[in-house]
Structures are given as structure tokens and as C-alpha cells.
Amino acid sequence: MSPSEETRAILEQLGVRSGGSLESRSPMDGSVIGSVTKTEDIPGACDRAKQAFLEWRTVPAPRRGELVRLLGEELRVAKEPLARLVTLECGKIVQEGIGEVQEMIDICDFAVGLSRQLYGLTIASERPNHRMIEQWHPLGPVAVITAFNFPVAVWAWNAALALVCGDPVIWKPSDKAPLCAEAVMAIARRALERFGDAPEGLLQCVQGGRDAGEALVADDRIALVSATGSTAMGRAIGPAVAKRFGRVLLELGGNNAAIVTPSADLDLASQAILFAAAGTAGQRCTTLRRLIVHESIADQLVARLKTLFSRIKVGDPREEGTLVGPLIDEAAFNSMREVLGDAIEQVDSASGGFYVRPAIVEVDAQKGPVLKETFAPILYVLRYSDLSEAIALNNAVSQGLSSSIFTNDLKDSERFLSARGSDCGIANVNIGPSGAEIGGAFGGEKETGGGRESGSDSWRAYMRRQTNTINYGSDLPLAQGIRFDVAP
């Protein structure tokens, strides 16, 4: 079946009406597979979200969790068609499409449990008969700006947490993946109907390009802008939101490395490197882009990787056995070609899509394109002789998302994880830098933006902290022992 025929059938199955001026193309063959209506009234959406907030913040958090539980149930029902749509609209292989929807389900489960937690602290007061506590209250409407490469999961990371935290969500999906967003909204509507009395405007989606995102960023009814995308995008959003003292949660570019030490298990490392570098056609922000290998094992490992890379099946992401589907579009292909020149290996160029074989490029130093995040499957290989040098290379880029080390030497691994080790938000041992579980906090430092999404205590970004000091005595001792009396 052609991508457009199959998309039409899936949209119908999921209850999504296609139509409007914004077209969506499948990276598989470049054909138009559907369209959506551009959202004209962004301030109206912000207004509805604000109204919804006034009501939703008063609903007990465990009841808010019930909505997320229902969302998880609806996602389980729609898992296969939604995953298929991710494949059709973004080119992910079937396994990864399913994995992405599983990630949505996982975060819903996580958020349901969280809805009975959202803990604050009790703090010892210096004053007699005083008690200090910290409470977490809902923050306000959250704008979620997502990229094409995780067209549904990143919304879910944000929405599941925001909902239990008491915040409405306005989603501005990538204009390369508008149909996935419409499908998720249709699924969410079923959860909302079953829930019954959620306020209108609690979950919204606005479709459009950069201007739609800019309108959300500028609107002071939006308490938090959670944005995933390029560092250039983050550089525009950060100051714009700061100007109005709004909050941001930025998850921007990565330029992730893995160090392979002489003691590493090379079978395990090769498999991990294969997935981390070639998976998702090199279009994850956690994709492995720089391999830093000890000189004593470099020849052996590179030879192995070259063999593995040559065996990767590149092609129709729907086909059994395909590991690498198409790049998202021609622009992605061009940026890969800019780096590789004639060495780029295009596969099936008659298909209308941009299919490439993942490339391995050995380099002597980190400069030029090695320092940039080219969103395509290029793995640079560097050699090192001493672990401090390898760690310095890992840290010598402007991005700080993910990193890993392959080693069986406890000292090497602990050095890598220590304060003088990797400077990234994620540092792994004997697994690649990509493919994180939702239970951990996800995000990174430096030009990656500093935000943390998903698990651990990332929920705090979606709430406001309030410190309370309660005097249950009859005297008024002041903090720091200050005396401030007037004779009676």
C-alpha cells in the first residue's frame, strides 16, 4: 500500500479528519499523505488554557491522575495504528514506532503514581513553636513545542506530568509531523470524554510553523514553555520567555560521545554502537555521533563496525528487517552531503525519499563538522591514549546531552561518572548514549539547554514552590533573633 493510502486508512481508524492548508509529506516517498488546518487564533487558545487552569488547579491531583490513567488506556488501544502513523509520517522503523508509543504509555503510568506524591519537604524551623513546610502548587498553562523525530512521545512526557501537576497544555507540534499530533489529540479526546468533567481547553494543539511557536512564547498566559529542538531554536525562545519572566524547559541539541576503553567487551560495544549511531537514521538528539576509542583497539573495533554498518538494511521502514528508514527530508540529506561530499551512500534514490547508509568517518581532531550536530547518521571516530584525554574530548563540545563509556574497569567507569568526568546530563556505562527509559530525568547541560523532562523529580518544573512558615505559639520570635519591639 502507498504511504498516502495507508495513512488515510489509519486516520479514519483513529477518528482523525484530514484537510486544510498545511500539508504533511511522508519521508518514505515524499508524497503528500494528508493535511491539517492552520490555527489562526493562538491568543484564543491561550485564553482557553488560562480558563481551564483556574478550574483544573482545584481538582485533587489523584483525580487529575485518573485522566492520565485513561489516556494511558486509550494509548494502549491505539498503540499499533499510532505507531504506524509515526512510521509513515516520520520514517521510523516499525520497532521504533512501537517503542515511541510505549514510551507514551510508560510516562502515563509514571504520572499516575506521581499524582499521589508531588511531595514537599518539612524543614526544621529555628524558632520555637514554628513549623516550616514546602508545598507544590499548579503552575499554569504549559506550551509544549516538539520536534519531528519524537513526534508523539515528547508531548506525552510533558503532557502526562503537566496534567497531574494541574496545568493545561497547548501543543505546537513540528510542522513536519502534524498528523501524528492530530491522532494523539483524537486519542486524548476519548480519554477526556470518559473522564467526564475536565474543563474545555485543558489539552489543545495549535498547528502552524515558526509563527505559531512565537505567538505561544510571547504570550504571558503561558507559564512554562517546554521546547525540544535545535540549539538555534532554544536561543530564540530562552530570551523571549525570560523577557516576560516566564519559565522555560529546554531540551536542545546533542553531540553525544562514547568512550571505548581497552577492557571493553567489544561484542557488546559494537551492538550498542550500531543502535546508538544508526538507529532512527541518526535523528535522535541522543544519537551517538562521536566514538572515542583507545588506540590499542581502534583498528579492530572500526573494522568490526564497518562490517556491521555495511550489513544494515536501509529502506522501507515498514519492512521486516529494515534498521534504517529514510531521512526526514531533502534538507537533512543535504546537510549530510555537506559533510560527506561524494562519500555519501544514497540507497534507492528513485523512491522519492532520502535513504542513506550510515557512515563512519575517522578523524584526527575535533573540529569543523565534528563539533556540530548534523541530524543524520554520521559516526566520527577519534583515537585516544589516556582516559583523561578521552574525557576531555567527550567534554570539548558545546552540547552536553548524553555520553557513555564502554569498559570493564571499575576505575575508568567511576572516573567517567565522577565530578571530573562527563559533563553531560546523561552518562551511561556499557550502554550507548541513546534510548533512555522514562524513569530518569532526561536532558542536558550547556547548549543542550539545561532542562530536565520525564522521570525523577522533573515534575517540579511544572509546579510552583511555596514556602510556608506557621507559628502555632503565642509569641512572635523573629528570624535571625532580630528584636523589633516598642514598649507597650
For residue 225, the surrounding DSSP H or E stretch is strand 224-228
Query: In whole angstroms, what is the distance from residue 119 CA to residue 61 CA?
Result: 12
Q: Give the binding range for ligand UN1 (CB under 6 A) out of 5-13, 109-117, 149-157, 380-388.
A: 149-157
- Interactions with ligand UN1, residue window 210-269 (CB under 6 A): 228
DSSP class per residue in 249-303: EEE----EEEEE-TTS-HHHHHHHHHHHHHGGGG-STT-EEEEEEETTTHHHHHH
Q: How far is the CB of 336 from ligand UN1 (least distance, A)?
A: 17
Q: Which is nearer to ligand UN1, 64 or 284 (CB)?
A: 284
Pick from 274, 381, 436, 463 the residue near ligand UN1 by CB under 6 A. 436
Q: Which is nearer to ligand UN1, 204 or 283 (CB)?
A: 283
Query: What is the number of the residue whose Cβ is closest to ligand UN1?
Result: 436
Query: Is 285 in the active site?
Result: yes
Give the E-state strand segments of 42-195 in sequence order.
122-123, 130-138, 142-145, 169-172
117: cell is: 506524591
Q: How far is the CB of 48 from ligand UN1 (least distance, A)?
A: 28
Q: Which is nearer to ligand UN1, 153 or 393 (CB)?
A: 153
Query: Is 251 in the active site?
Result: yes
Please list the alpha-helical segments (H only) found in 115-223. Answer: 153-165, 178-195, 210-218
Q: Does 25 bind ligand UN1 (CB under 6 A)?
A: no
Query: In whole angstroms, what is the distance from residue 192 CA to residue 13 CA?
Result: 19
CA distances from 484 to 95, 132, 473, 480, 481 (A): 69, 22, 18, 12, 10
CA distances from 157 to 73, 120, 439, 449 (A): 16, 22, 11, 17
Q: How far is the CB of 297 from ligand UN1 (least distance, A)?
A: 26
Which candidate in 251, 373, 447, 453 is catalytic? 251
Give me the 150-189 binding string for ligand UN1, x by CB under 6 A, dash otherwise: x---x-----------------------------------
354: cell is: 532520502
- The 3-state DSSP class for residue 426 equals strand
- Interactions with ligand UN1, residue window 94-123 (CB under 6 A): 103
Applying CB under 6 A, what is the total number of residues that bind ligand UN1? 11
β-bridge mates for residue 466, sequence order? 135
Q: How far is the CB of 103 from ligand UN1 (least distance, A)?
A: 6
Q: How far is the CB of 86 from ligand UN1 (least distance, A)?
A: 13
Which candidate in 285, 373, 447, 453 is catalytic? 285
- Interactions with ligand UN1, residue window 275-294 (CB under 6 A): 284-286
Pick from 39, 255, 404, 434 the residue near ligand UN1 by CB under 6 A. 434
Q: How far is the CB of 262 from ligand UN1 (least distance, A)?
A: 28
Decide: 204 and 45 in contact? Cβ < 8 Å. Answer: yes
Task: Report the largest interatomic distance among the alpha carbons of the chain, rounded to a whole angstrom.
Answer: 93
Which residues carry out catalysis? Answer: 251, 285
- What residue ranges bind ligand UN1 (CB under 6 A)? 103, 149-150, 154, 228, 284-286, 434-436
